[in-house]
């Protein structure tokens, strides 16, 4: 199984991969052919803890895979480093247009909404930067711990930018020019890149930005926890366990704090 030759001007999929327990491996095996059909090439920035089996599958399929040698980018305050590295990896392959996404979300999207993914990929060349958010239904599919805390981020982003976008799904379309500008001029190393990247480009004033709502960015985490869902007595009960966990609320509130803090340097935006 080989990825087709790189086509100049076509879209490169750049993903971050973190799957220390190997829960995504079978989904990678099932869905990789779909991703191959939609993208000229696939580049993967894998964390230090990612297991070799899934990465070997990707390499055998022709993907460009780089695995971090340390846990340097581990944690919400350093996750932006992994994202920047994925974009940089794509640029070094000659990519003209990039779809950046967390790998688990890309896999879910390709498995359950492949037509939407294909249509969207074809549209990304129309703008320098496309924020990919969720429809109301897709957003509502997430646990409340995510909806409530990500709603805070989206609200503050809207107040500062003037755009009521869902900016927390961590999926973006980027032209080569926009990607290079972000790497050169937007130094945020945290998960705050969700908000810092579009705000940086909006402030620059020389880039075209767009927003697209998607169904495919619905709640993807359940894909890899079938055993826990069965043990909980079903998907709804499993999500209720997530929402009942103080640790999950603490994590998500910290994420929201980091992202809101990342907005502050862009006040005023102009």
Residues contacting 203, CB < 8 A, separation 6+: 266, 269, 270
Residue with tokens 């020019």: 177
Number of H-type helices and E-type strands within the chain: 12, 7
How high is the pLDDT of residue 5?
A: 39
Q: What is the DSSP letter of 4?
A: P
In the block, residue with structure tokens 């896999």: 107
Length of the chain: 270
CA-CA distance, 19 to 205, in Å (whole number)?
A: 37
pLDDT the model gives residue 92: 95
Q: What pLDDT is attached to residue 1? A: 30
Average pLDDT of each block of 10 consecutive residues along the chain (270 residues)?
44 94 92 94 92 90 90 81 96 96 97 96 96 98 98 98 97 98 96 98 97 98 94 96 98 98 92
Task: Give this prediction's pTM.
Answer: 0.93
165 to 153, 158, 234, 244: CA distances (angstroms): 10, 7, 32, 28
Res 69: pLDDT: 85
Residue 73 pLDDT = 63
* Pairing relationship of beta strands 171-175 and 97-102 according to DSSP bridges: antiparallel
Helix, strand, or coil (residue 264):
helix
Question: For the chain, what are the domain ranges?
Answer: 11-142+163-225
- pLDDT score, position 258: 97
Q: Would you state the pLDDT for residue 270?
A: 73
Q: Distance between CA atoms of 201 and 181, rounded to whole angstroms?
A: 8
| CB-based contact 144:243 (threshold 8 Å) | yes
Name the CATH architecture for the domain at 11-142+163-225: Alpha-Beta Complex (3.90)
Name the nearest CA neighbour of 127 among 178, 180, 53.
Answer: 178
């Amino acid at each position: 199984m080989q990825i087709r030759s790189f086509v100049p001007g076509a879209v490169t999929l750049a993903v971050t991969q973190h799957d220390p327990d190997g829960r995504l491996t079978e989904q990678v095996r099932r869905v990789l052919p779909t991703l191959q059909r939609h993208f000229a090439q696939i580049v993967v920035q894998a964390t230090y803890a990612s297991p070799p089996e899934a990465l070997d599958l990707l390499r055998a399929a022709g993907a460009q895979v780089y695995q971090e040698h340390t846990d340097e980018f581990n944690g919400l305050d350093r996750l932006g480093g992994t994202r920047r590295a994925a974009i940089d990896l794509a640029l070094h392959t000659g990519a003209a247009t990039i779809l950046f996404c967390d790998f688990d979300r890309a896999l879910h999207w390709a498995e359950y909404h492949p037509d939407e993914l294909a249509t969207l990929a074809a549209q990304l060349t129309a703008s320098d930067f496309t924020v990919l958010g969720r429809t109301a239904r897709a957003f509502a599919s997430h646990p409340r711990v995510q909806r409530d805390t990500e709603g805070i981020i989206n609200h503050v982003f809207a107040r500062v930018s003037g755009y009521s976008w869902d900016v927390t799904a961590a999926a973006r379309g980027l032209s080569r020019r926009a990607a290079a500008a972000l790497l050169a001029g937007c130094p945020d190393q945290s998960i705050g890149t969700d908000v810092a990247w579009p705000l940086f480009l909006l402030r620059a004033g020389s880039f075209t930005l767009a927003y697209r709502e998607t169904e495919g960015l619905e709640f993807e985490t359940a894909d890899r926890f079938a055993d826990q869902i069965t043990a909980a007595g079903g998907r709804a009960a499993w999500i209720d366990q997530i929402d009942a966990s103080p640790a999950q609320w603490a994590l998500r509130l910290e994420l929201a704090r980091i992202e809101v803090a990342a907005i502050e340097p862009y006040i005023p935006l102009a």
